[in-house]
Amino acid sequence: MATIGFIGLGNMGGPMAENLLKAGHAVQGFDLARESVARAAAAGATAAPSAAAAAEGADVVVTMLPAGRHVRQVLIDDGVLQAASEGTLFIECSTIDVATAREMHAAAEAGDLAMVDAPVSGGTAGAAAATLTFMVGGSDPAFARAEPVCAAMGKAVIHAGGPGNGQAAKICNNMILGVTMIGVCEALVLAEALGLDHQKLFDISSKSSGSCWSLNTYCPVPGPVPTSPANNDYKPGFAAEMMLKDLLLAQEAARAGGTTTPMGAAATALYGLFVNGGEGSTDFSGIIRMIRGN
Ligand code: NAD
C-alpha cells in the first residue's frame, strides 16, 4: 500500500480520498478549506499543514482542484513538484485546459517525476461510490503505475494516449454531451408543439437513429427515465456551470488548434445564456426550460 498526498479535498476530492483510505492507502491530505481537511482527518487521513507537506515522502500525489490556474499555483508556485521525492507519481485529476496539462507534464519530467493527467466523469455520486471513469494521458509506465491507484476510486481506467490526452478526451466527450442534450431538448419541445407525447417520442427515438445517452439515460423531461434529474426538479446531477466550464475548455482548445466546431460553439453560447440567467447550479438537462421559453 502506498503513501498518497491528496491536494484538493472538495466535493470530488473528499470522497475520492476516502476511497483511497478504504483501499488501505495512507493519505496525507491538504486543502485551503480547513473543514475539508478536518473531514478527511476524521476518515483516517493525516492532515498536512501545506500543499508541499502533503507531497513530502509520498509515493503518489493526487490533485483535484477547480481549474488550470489552481493546478499551476499548487504544483509550481506552492512548491509541490519541488517537495516531492524523485520518481513520485502525480495523478492530476482536475478538469483543466490541455495546454496547462501538457505544461505540468513537462515541469514534472524536468524534475524527474512521473505524471498522468486523469480527469474523471461520474460526478459526486461516482466519487462517493468509487465508480468514476478515469481518462488518462501519459507514458505507458506512468499509466501502469496510476491504474491501480485510480481503480480504487473508479470502475474504469482508460489510457487515452500521451500527455494531455486525458483532458482532450474529457472535453471532446463533454462537447458531444452538451450538443446532444440540446438536440434532445429541442426535439422534445417540438414534439410538445406537434401534440406528440414525450413518452411516445422516447419509445420510438430511444430505439431509432435518434438514440443517444442524453435521451436514453438522462431524458430531460419527467417520466420516461425515472432516475433522470428532470424527475427531481432538475437538481444536479451535473450542474450547468460545470457543463459550461467544459464547453469553454473545448472552445479554447478548438481556437488554439484552428479546429472549427460550430455545434460546440452554439452549445457553449446556449449554456452561457442559461448560466448567466441564474441557472448555474441547475442540472444541465434543465436547459429544456430555456428552450421551451419557461
Ligand atoms: P470543489 O470546488 O468542490 O473542490 C475543489 C477544492 O480545491 C476546494 O475544496 C478548494 O478549497 C480546493 N483548492 C482550491 N485551490 C487550492 C489550493 N491552492 N490549494 C489547496 N486546495 C485548493 O470542486 P469539485 O466539484 O471537487 O471539482 C474538482 C474538479 O473536478 C474540477 O476541475 C471539476 O471540473 C472536476 N469535476 C467535477 C465534477 C463534479 O460533478 N463536481 C465531475 C467531474 C469532474
**How far, in Å, CA of 164 to CA of 104, rounded?**
9
- The arithmetic mean of pLDDT across residues 276-284, rounded, is 98
* pLDDT given for residue 237 in this prediction: 87
pLDDT tens readout for residues 138-168: 999 999 999 999 999 999 999 999 999 999 9
The model carries a pTM of 0.94
H or E, element range at 233: none
The CA-based angle 208-262-277, given to 5 degrees, is 90
User: Looking at the domain 3-162, which fold is it?
Assistant: Rossmann fold (3.40.50)
- Name residues contacting ligand 1 (CB within 6 A): 7-13, 30-33, 36, 51, 64-66, 70, 73-74, 94-95, 120-121, 123-124, 238, 242, 245
| All cell numbers assigned to 192 | 410538445
Cα separations in angstroms, 66 against 12, 17, 107, 250 = 10, 16, 20, 16
Characterize 57-82 residue by residue with b for buried, 16 or more Cβ atoms within 10 angstroms of its Cβ, and e for exposed: ebbbbbbbbeebebbbebbeebebbe
* pLDDT given for residue 202 in this prediction: 98
* pLDDT given for residue 289 in this prediction: 98
Q: Where in the chain is the domain with CATH 1.10.1040.10?
A: 168-292
Q: Whose grid coordinates read 471513469?
A: 133
Atom of ligand 1 nearest to the CA of 132: 43
pLDDT tens readout for residues 197-219: 999 999 999 999 999 999 999 99
Q: Whose grid coordinates read 476530492?
A: 13
Q: Is residue 124 predicted with pLDDT exceeding 90?
A: no
User: Looking at the domain 168-292, which fold is it?
Assistant: N-(1-d-carboxylethyl)-l-norvaline Dehydrogenase; domain 2 (1.10.1040)
**How far, in Å, CA of 205 to CA of 247, rounded?**
26
Q: Is 200 a catalytic residue?
A: no
**How far, in Å, CA of 103 to CA of 129, rounded?**
32
Q: Where in the chain is the domain with CATH 3.40.50.720?
A: 3-162
Distance 222 CA to ligand 1 centre (A): 30
Q: Is residue 294 predicted with pLDDT exceeding 90?
A: no
Cα separations in angstroms, 98 against 45, 127, 231, 242, 273 = 31, 23, 35, 17, 25
